[in-house]
Structures are given as structure tokens and as C-alpha cells.
Amino acid sequence: MALRADAVRNRAAILTAASEVFATHGPNATTEQVAQQAGVAVGTVFRHFPTKDDLLVAIMKESLARLAALTNESTLATFFDAVVDEAVRTRMVVIALGDSGLDIGDALQGLTDNVTQLLDQAKAAGEARPTVQVDEVMALLTAAAYAAQQASWTADLRQRTLAVILRGLE
Amino acid sequence: MALRADAVRNRAAILTAASEVFATHGPNATTEQVAQQAGVAVGTVFRHFPTKDDLLVAIMKESLARLAALTNESTLATFFDAVVDEAVRTRMVVIALGDSGLDIGDALQGLTDNVTQLLDQAKAAGEARPTVQVDEVMALLTAAAYAAQQASWTADLRQRTLAVILRGLE
Amino acid sequence: MALRADAVRNRAAILTAASEVFATHGPNATTEQVAQQAGVAVGTVFRHFPTKDDLLVAIMKESLARLAALTNESTLATFFDAVVDEAVRTRMVVIALGDSGLDIGDALQGLTDNVTQLLDQAKAAGEARPTVQVDEVMALLTAAAYAAQQASWTADLRQRTLAVILRGLE
Amino acid sequence: MALRADAVRNRAAILTAASEVFATHGPNATTEQVAQQAGVAVGTVFRHFPTKDDLLVAIMKESLARLAALTNESTLATFFDAVVDEAVRTRMVVIALGDSGLDIGDALQGLTDNVTQLLDQAKAAGEARPTVQVDEVMALLTAAAYAAQQASWTADLRQRTLAVILRGLE
DNA sequence: TATGAATGAGAGTTCATTCAT
DNA sequence: GATGAATGAACTCTCATTCAT
């Protein structure tokens, strides 16, 4: 139990490090790089995440969970913003939302459930037309997340792009 | 001259092969795989494209050029469709349109010019509001191309997603 | 004293576990596996046996000691049987008897002494010809132990193989 | 075809090197060691033998084939000698004859066939009793091969040990 | 003394790239 | 120009051993 504290701290450090490293260098960044950034040895990374993919999956799920948690206090509009924020911070969400071969189906489903509620609220508020379905909203979120990766993406461009999507949903 | 013909044929075969291979297995596919698919030896691939990145760049530019050529006979709506088609065929465009780190700036600029014309026509036809700028259209094209990668992307979902975007541009 | 009891119990548990684990998975089995089987943590294994080789040596010596103890109530024939039994139970004896590089010289010498007596008795009983020397008997024991490892080794095959060797000693 | 010469030479060099290295350091010796001994880079070893196990299997089969070839000009007695020779030269035979998890079943069967003939001849010549079966002869060959590994194995000891076995077969 | 997390040297394997033929 | 074998740096993962708790 005592040692557990260190372990928990390390696990967190590794996840944080992994987020940063993969965000900066993409998913091909080395496990070694992650370890260094986290200030631990490679072995420690592998003890916590037996496979590089496990690590990837973990940070993706974290990202998705973070987003799912936000849906409570969001409208569809602010949620699009949040997704873009997350996508900019960790390049991973986009891979997560997109079609990686990694097993994150459940986390994705969880998010989809929350987005469904958001969509229903938006419909009730007259901000989304009744015919809109969740899957296209998810697709558009993915799309927005992806577009947000561009280096040239300014605050202004971002605002204009999201505006188009939101207007399209009405 | 006879050899030159072979070389030209090989270059084409390699590009075709690369498109297929990278479309199927993603950009981490092996140069060796490309060579096999093209029916040549690895050395030949490297003679034509000194670097794997060169090969990647080449097929991206091809994709972008193909799209640029289409703008003549397109409206904004049909062009979105075309981009999605190309994105589905070669997974590369999306990387090309997106922020890959590869040097395809010029090809991208060429496409942007053509899209500008398309946008102007759309505005003239009342299909895009006057305030819309090219960069957000490019962003949305990228976004659509990306969303199109999903395995779950059905014809119906595609239609609905693009509809949202197009409606948003009006 | 109370703790000492624990320690003693642990040492025994580790040895037993190691026997089973190495018998099943060969000498490349992990120290971790041994620890789990013994129901202790790795650290404990290393406290008792500073080196994996030490552990290997310990269980080998145990095996050899077990066999040495048996010589009192054996004839050459039944002893061959006993060695084969032990070899089947713990894959280690065979390594022990063979040329492992591990330091078990003394234990081996102890066994050799006992076998010498067995051989003398056999000669007296007319079951081994006078010219036979211990070293070839030891070699044949090793050989039998090794042959016994085969997966295909049936009770019948075993009996026939040992019969040949025993007949050869007469 | 031209390069093939180099490749063939390398393949042979690797096999030879592997034999020596594994004979000296056992099957846990590194692929890197093999490569160095062969005077090639690791990649070359893996090009010829995609897996370390493939390499192991290859030299085992070579050994077994070498032995199988010898049966033509052997009697049971001289064949035992030959097996022991081979076992001393390459530690691998013994592993091959024994129960490795490696897939050499066919090569082993091939050898068994030849030994069957040798046994039949021995029976005809009155040097093996009619009741002896091949499987125990194979077991004894394995056993002899194994015993031969001992560091202490002198020419004299070897002769005496094999004599016991051969006498037992009569 | 026991625990089990951390270490880090290595092992097997891959792959872009080079170069002899 | 084409071939495909060779290269070797790099990468993922393992495991004996150490050490903080």
C-alpha cells in the first residue's frame, strides 16, 4: 500500500508525459522518449503499460473521458469548442475519434451517449434541426478535431470553421 | 531511349503501387511492400524516390493535382464529394491536406487557388454566403476528408455529414 | 524467532516452487514466476537466493541429495529407476548431472561416492562385471536421465531402454 | 543470379558461425554473436533466418542430415560413435534429438528411418537381439549424445560408456 | 524481513537506405 | 537502370537485480 503511492504517481507522470510526447511527435514517438519525459526508466513504462498500444489506448481513453465529463456543463456549441481544445492539446483524440486499430470502442460509445443527450438538448432549444442524427454529429466532431491540427489554424479560422458546422446543424 | 521507357513505366507503376499500399496499410507500410506490389525491386523504388518521404510526397501531390483538375467541372457541393471520394481511395490526401510535415505546400496552394474560384462561383450562385473565406472551406474539406476515413462511414452517413457542412456555408 | 520461522518456511516454499516452475518451463523460466508460485514477492526470492543461479544450484543439490539418500535402499537397477523418476519430476537433475557450468561439484561427488558403493554391491552380486568403473555408470545415469525427458517417453519405452543399459553392465 | 553467389556464401557462413557459437555458448547465445562470428551484420542473419528459432532449427537439421547421410557406411556401433562425435562438435544435436520445442519432426523421422535399417542389419549380423526396437535405440543415441557433453568425457570414458550400451543391445 | 515498483542493460526483430553485381 | 543482399541504427519488450517503503 505504501509503495502504491509512488506507483500511482509514476503512472500519472507517464500518462502526462505520453500525452505531451505523442502530441508533439505523433504516435510514432518512442516509448523511450515517453520514459525520459516522465523521468523514469523504460521498464517502468512497460510495467504500467505492457504494450506501446496499451499506452496509446490509455491516453486516448483519458482524453475521451475528459470530454465525456464535460458534456454535463456544455451545449453543443461549447462542446465543439472543447473537442477542438482537446484535439489541439493532445494529437491523440483525433486518432481516438478516428479509425485507429486500437481498442477504445467502449470509451467511444460512452462519449457518443453523452453527445446524444447534448444533441437532444440542442434540438429542444431549437439549435439543431430534428432530423440530425448522432452519428453525423460524431463525424463532424471528429472532422473538427482533425482540422484543428493544422499548424495554420488561428483563433479566427477556428471560430469561422466551427460557425459553419454549427450553422449547418440548425 | 528504350530503357527510358522502362523507367517511365516503372515510375508510374511505383506510384500506383504506393497509393494502394499506403491506402491499405497506412503510411507505415514498408517500402518493400510497395516494391513488391509494383513488381520491382526495392532498389528501383529508391532510384526513383530517393526517400520514402519523397514517395509519400509524390502520391500526395498526385492526389492533390487530381483534385485540382476536377475543380473545372465542379460546384462546391460536388467538389466536397470528390474530395471525400479521393480520401476514401487513398488515405493519403487527408495527411496531405492536414499537417504532415511533408513539403507539399505548393501543391496545396495550387488547390487552394482553384477552390477560391469554386467558392466565388458558389457565392455568385447564392450557395455560399459572402462572408465565407477560403481558408475555412479548405479546413472543412480537410475535415470531411478525415471523417471519411472511418470504417463506419456509410453512404448515408456521408451524405448527411456533407449536407450539414454545405448547409452551414449557405 | 517468530520471523525466523517465516523465513524458513519461505525458503522451503521457494525451493518447492522453483522445482515445479523450472520443471515445467525449463531453466529460462522467470524468477517472477517462481515468486508467484511460491506466494511471495520477487524480493523475497532474491533475499534467500542472491542470484538466479544460486536458486538453480540449490534445487539441483536438493535433487542430488534426495537421490544420494536413496542409495541405501537401492540396487543399481532400482537406482536407475529412481534417477529417471527424479529426472522426469524435476527437469533439473539432468542439467545438474550434465555440464551446466553451475557449481555443484561437491554434491555430485557425494552422489558419486554412493553410486560407487552401489556398483560394488552389484559386482558382488554378479550383476555388474568387474571391469565396469563408476564414471561410466555416472555417465549412463546422466544419459538415462536425459533420455527420460522426451515427451514421447512411455513407461514401456523407459523399461526397454533401462533394460538395455542394465544388461550392458552385466 | 550473380548476387546469389554472395548470398549463398553468406548463408553458409552464418550456419557455420551459428554452429560454432551455439556449440560454445549454448542456445542462449545472441544472434549478434552469430552475426559477428559470420562477419556479417545482424540484419543479414535475419534476412536468411527470419527468427532465431529458424536458425536453431536449420543447424539442427543440418546436423541430423549429416548423421542420416552417414548411416550408409555405418554399423550400429560406428554410428553411435558418429553421433557422439557430432554431439561433441555441435551441442545442438542433443537438443535436436531431445525434446526442444522446435519443429524438426521430419528431419528426426528421416534419421529414425535410417537407424531402423541399421538396426535390422545389426539384428541380421547377430549384433542386436531381435526384440530390440528402434525407439529405444533412438533413446539411447540421444542419451549417449547427451552424456558426451560432459567436460570430463575422455576418449577412454567414452569408449567404455558406448561399450556398455552396445553390449546391452546384443 | 517482506514487498513489489523501478532500473537499465540487452535481446530479438524491423526497415530505410546503400551498393556490389 | 534494375536487382536484391547487406547494413546497422532504432525500436519494442524482457528480466535479473536493486532499493525505497
pLDDT tens for D121-134 read 999 999 999 999 99
Nearest-CA distance A47 → chain B (Å): 26
For chain D, which residues make up each domain, given as ranges?
A: 1-50, 52-169
- Chain A residues with CB inside 8 Å of B140's CB? 143, 147, 161, 164-165
Task: Identify the DSSP state of A29.
Answer: S
Mutate to test the interface with A, among B127, B132, B136, B141 (most CBs of A within 10 A): B136
User: How does D158-169 read in b/e, with b if 16+ C-beta sit within 10 Å?
Assistant: bebbbbbbbebb
Helix, strand and coil content of chain A, in percent to the nearest 5, comes to: 75, 0, 25
pLDDT computed for residue B33 by the predictor: 97
Instruction: Using CA coordinates, name the residue in chain A closest to B155.
Output: A136
Average pLDDT over residues C118-128: 96
Reported as a single tens digit per residue, the pLDDT across A16-61 is 999 999 999 988 999 999 999 999 999 999 999 999 999 999 999 9
Confidence of residue A91 (pLDDT cuts 50, 70, 90): confident
Lowest-pLDDT range, A123-137, C119-133, C137-151, D95-109?
Answer: D95-109
Query: Does A105 score more than 70 pLDDT?
Result: yes
> Is residue C121 over pLDDT 80?
yes
Q: Across chain B, what does the average pLDDT equal? A: 90
pLDDT above 50 (res B32)? yes
Above 60 in pLDDT, residue A2?
A: no
Q: Is the CB of A3 under 7 A from strand E?
A: yes
With CA atoms as reference, report the closest residue to B54 among B75, B84, B31.
B31
Region C103-132: mean pLDDT is 93
Query: Who contacts B125 (Cβ-Cβ below 8 Å, separation ≥6)?
Result: B75
pLDDT exceeds cutoff 50 at B36 = yes
**Model confidence at B1: pLDDT above 50:** no
B4: cell is: 527510358
What CA dihedral angle connects D114, D117, D119 and D124, to 10 degrees? Answer: -160
Give the closest-approach CA distance of A144 to chain B in angstroms: 6
Which residue stretches of C26-133 are H helix? 31-38, 42-48, 52-70, 76-89, 92-97, 105-124
State the Cα–Cα distance between residues C146 and D83, nearest whole angstrom.
15
pLDDT tops 50 at residue C2: no
pLDDT level of residue A114 (50, 70, 90 thresholds): very high
CATH architecture entry for C52-169: Orthogonal Bundle (1.10)
Q: Which grid coordinates are listed for A167?
A: 450553422
Looking at domain D1-50, its CATH architecture is: Orthogonal Bundle (1.10)
Whole-angstrom distance, CA of residue B74 vs CA of residue B29: 33
Taking the C-alpha atoms of residue B53 and residue B103, their distance in angstroms, rounded to an integer, is 9
C-alpha cell at D9: 556464401
Q: Report helix angle A31-38 to A2-25, nearest 10.
A: 120
pLDDT at B2 over 70: no
Among the residue ranges A28-42, C128-142, C155-169, D96-110, the one predicted with the least confidence is D96-110
Quick one: pLDDT band at residue C147, thresholds 50, 70, 90? confident
Closest residue in chain B to residue A158, using alpha carbons only: B136
How far B102 CA lies from chain A's nearest CA (Å)? Answer: 13
Task: Report the share of chain B in percent with pLDDT over 70.
Answer: 94
Each residue's pLDDT tens digit, B107-148: 889 999 999 999 999 999 999 999 999 999 999 999 998 888
| Rounded Cα gap, residues B27 and B38, in angstroms | 16
The residue with cell 504500467 is: A48
Is it the case that residue A158 has pLDDT exceeding 80?
A: yes
Determine, for residues C157 and D139 on separate chains, whether the beta-carbon distance falls below 8 Å.
Answer: yes
* A36 CA → E7 C1’, Å: 13
Question: What tens digit of pLDDT does each residue of D30-79 get?
Answer: 999 999 999 999 999 999 999 999 999 999 999 999 999 999 999 999 99
* C131-160 residues touching D, CB cutoff 8 A: 132-133, 135-136, 139-140, 142-144, 146-147, 149-153, 157, 160
* Residue B102 confidence (pLDDT): 81
C-alpha cell at A118: 447534448
Cα-based angle C72, C78, C83 (whole degrees, multiple of 5): 90
Inform me whether the pLDDT recorded for D22 exceeds 70: yes
**How many other C-beta atoms are found inside a 10 Å radius of the C-beta of residue D56?**
20
What digits encode the pLDDT tens for the residues C89-98?
888 766 766 6
Mean pLDDT of the residues in chain D? 91
The three-point CA angle A27-A32-A37 to 5° equals: 85
Question: By the CB < 8 Å criterion, does B28 face chain A?
Answer: yes
What pLDDT, on a 0 to 100 scale, did the predictor assign at position D50? 96
CB < 8 Å to C109, chain D: none
Average pLDDT over residues D153-169: 95
- Residue B101's pLDDT band (cuts 50, 70, 90): confident
User: Exposed/middle/buried for A106, CB within 10 Å: 0-12, 13-18, 19+?
Assistant: exposed
Give the count of beta carbons closer than 10 Å to the beta carbon of residue B15.
18
Mean pLDDT, range C36-61, rounded to an integer: 95
Contacts of D144 in chain C (CB under 8 A): 143
Confidence of residue D103 (pLDDT cuts 50, 70, 90): confident
Mean pLDDT of chain C: 90
